[in-house]
Amino acid sequence: MTSRYLLKGGTVATSVQGGDEARVYRADVLVEGTTITRIEQDIVPGTGVEVIDCEGKWITPGFVDTHRHVFMTVLRGNHCDYLLSEYLVKMSWSTQGSLTPEEIGIGTLAGCLDALHNGVTTILDHFHAAHTPAHADAALRAVLESGARVIWAPARQSPPTQLFPSMEFARDAETAKWQREKLKELASVDGGKLRPDGRVTLGLAYDGVWQGPMSTHQEFLAFARTLPVSVITAHVVKGPSILQWRDGGLLGSDVVFSHCNVLADRPAPDDETWAALRNSGAAIASTPEDELGMAHGNPVALDALKRGVKCGLGVDATSINSGDMFKQMRTALQWARGHDHERIHLNKLTAPSHNKYSSADAFRLATLGGAEALGLAELIGTVEVGKRADLLVFDTSSVNLAGAGDPITGVVFHASSEDIETVLVDGEIVKRGGKLVREWAPVARELRKRADDVRQRWPEDKLEENWKKWYGTNGAPAV
């Protein structure tokens, strides 16, 4: 039976396609099946419609996370003080390769539920721990079980088989072979829809363009696009990767580059790297909280918005920072404002009458901007008739929000997960009355057990010993 919900008496707050301003208005929202079918005042509920009282509450789109390593919830809190270079040695090249399918599975399930609890209804999951078919199966099974909307993007990479005296990847050829076949197998069923309803789709994470002949990358990405994969994502921090992708003919509107802090050092209006993104339709996934803390470089999200380059926000990993988009919005906005104020001060320019960037800009990045970056703006990202019902209801009588008049500034600067009363994904209620519908306690118990197992195998003193040895011999890895 098709579920039908009437969100009654609320205030809708949404970005608008084709503009930077937000729209706020009173209305009821009718959801039938997966879709928003009516938005107007005083809708009379029909037979079989469940009425959700939204009087005095805010109705917004679900948040869209454009870059998250979901499985890393099994390492929650382990990397909060790391530099990116330190993280590569201690996590990517050490801990990660030892994770079991069971650890990957519970980390992924808990990570997706964490996202839903925080109002993140869509995730681009850059899954770089597909070490074996069993690891890939465990991660995908958890994604499908969670109820989140996910572009599941397994990475074409393998863990190092040796770190000292030099790095070796002895199993990469073997891994490349089965990963190619796995992609082909998954895409062969309904064109990459990993759930029949399309809530989970197939993507690809591809970070290898910096090594080996360009022809290898051209062939593999051409293969992936014929399957097809819906999104191709890659890390870019400070290196020249964007121009390498351009020169190799690899850019396209299906490409999402995470971070792109190199662009903060390229302020010229006609810069060729910015132009490569804008002209190709490729997008940026900015994760400002960890970019600032781990020495990636300065965030570029708001700059991208003003330059007409598609951009969304992301959490990156809950092993490093929190899993909510509220902090990403605030960090991105306040960093951009502070940087602009510093520019004005250092250049002795006339003080402005208003901030250059607004709360509506940050709200857009976390909703419609993310949907645009992932090629999903026709489906999600705004509250509109005909779009999928990925919706949040905020309780404005909460301690955090009581007295706030503007939903946009309220969500960006004051709200937290505890204020999200209801979450819908594809018209399915996954959080009701402030609690996940899925029972959390058994997930938490399993997560705690598996997380403790990882920490026992890799105590911090052992990781620090590896890092000091690497740093003393090689210096910090280039990022």
User: Could you read off the pLDDT of 295-338 as tens digits, one per residue?
Assistant: 999 999 999 999 999 999 999 999 999 999 999 999 999 999 99
Burial annotation 130-152 (CB, 10 A radius, 16+ → b, else e): bbbeebbebbbebbbebbbbbbb
Residue 435 burial by CB count (10 A; 0-12/13-18/19+): exposed, middle or buried? exposed
Q: Is the pLDDT of residue 287 over 90?
A: yes
Tokens coding 140: 């995908």
Q: Is the pLDDT of residue 19 over 90?
A: no
Q: Could you tell me how many residues make up the chain?
A: 479
CA-nearest of 123, 135, 147, 214 to 182 is 135
Q: Is the pLDDT of residue 23 over 90?
A: yes
Query: Rounded to an integer, what distance in angstroms lies between the CA atom of residue 116 and that of residue 120?
Result: 5
Q: What is the mean pLDDT of residues 450-470?
A: 97
Pairing of strands 255-259, 232-236: parallel
Q: Is the pLDDT of residue 433 over 90?
A: yes
The number of beta carbons lying within 10 Å of the beta carbon of residue 465 is 11
For the chain, give the mean pLDDT: 97
The number of beta carbons lying within 10 Å of the beta carbon of residue 27 is 20
Question: Position of tokens 């050490």?
Answer: 94
Strands (E), 62-107: 63-68
Note the pLDDT tens digit of each residue in 108-162: 999 999 999 999 999 999 999 999 999 999 999 999 999 999 999 999 999 999 9
Question: Position of tokens 């079991």?
Answer: 100
Sign of CA dihedral 297, 115, 426, 385: negative
Which stretches within 127-211 are classed as H helix? 133-146, 172-187
Which stretches within 296-387 are classed as H helix? 301-307, 325-346, 359-366, 368-373
1: enclosing H helix or E strand: none
The model scores a pTM over 0.75: yes
Query: Band of the pLDDT at 1, cuts 50, 70, 90?
Result: low
Query: Rounded to an integer, what distance in angstroms lies between the CA atom of residue 113 and that of residue 80?
Result: 21
Q: Is the bond preceding 459 in cis, omega lying within 30 degrees of 0?
A: no
Note the pLDDT tens digit of each residue in 60-108: 999 999 999 999 999 999 999 999 999 999 999 999 999 999 999 999 9
Across-strand partners of 223?
Answer: none
Q: How many CA atoms lie within 13 A of 400 on its CB side?
A: 17
Q: Is the pLDDT of residue 441 over 80?
A: yes
CA-nearest of 48, 39, 51 to 3 is 48
452: enclosing H helix or E strand: helix 441-457
